[in-house]
Amino acid sequence: MMLEREFFRDPTLEEYLGGAFLIFGIVTLVLQVSGGIITYKGLEEKFYTFSPILLLLLYFLLHIGSAWLGSYLVVRRIRNTRIRLIRAGLLTGLAAYVVEALTTLLIVRAFPESLWALIGYLSGGCLGGYTVSFLTSRKAQEKPSEAE
């Protein structure tokens, strides 16, 4: 017996854009602060010659982590099927990529890490949607046992 009426809905445009700007803000803040620390300490040349693969991996993980958090916060506001939750996370990650690409292309005029950012945003968006669907399915399984 269900007391409250459950309804399915997708995120609104405002929710998608809010998540996208949150994701982009986290990435930009971390990149700007770390870039400022590296150049201030005079470690720039040593840091980049140390391991470019490590830097690319950290850049990739930053995009995955921020997209995971942002899409999780967007997707947890809705109630829908697992596929639609994951799709909402993907769309949030894609929106964040569009925001970062437009901003970077307007300011820097180049976006050499574009593919890695796209893969990171989409992977993190999937993870955020899947996390919400996993947690909600787990809650649904625990509710009948609490009623007994």
pLDDT in tens, 39-57: 776 666 666 666 778 888 9
Structural domain tally of the chain? 1
CB hemisphere CA count around 109 (13 angstroms): 0
Integer angstrom CA distances of residue 62 from 22, 48, 56, 121: 13, 17, 10, 9
Distance of CA 75 to the CA centre of its chain: 11
6 part of a folded domain: no
- For tokens 């958090």, the residue is 69
22 part of a folded domain: yes
| pTM, two decimal places | 0.84
60 part of a folded domain: yes
8 part of a folded domain: no
Predicted confidence at residue 92, as pLDDT, reads 96
Predicted confidence at residue 115, as pLDDT, reads 94
Residues lower than pLDDT 70 in the chain? 1-7, 41-50, 144-148
90 part of a folded domain: yes
The dihedral over CA atoms of 13, 16, 19, 25, expressed in degrees to the nearest 10, equals -80
Predicted confidence at residue 44, as pLDDT, reads 65
Query: 64: domain range?
Result: 13-147
CA-closest candidate to residue 121, choices 104, 96, 100, 102: 96
Burial of 114 (0-12, 13-18, 19+ CB in 10 A): middle
135 part of a folded domain: yes
92 part of a folded domain: yes
81 three-class SS = coil
132 part of a folded domain: yes
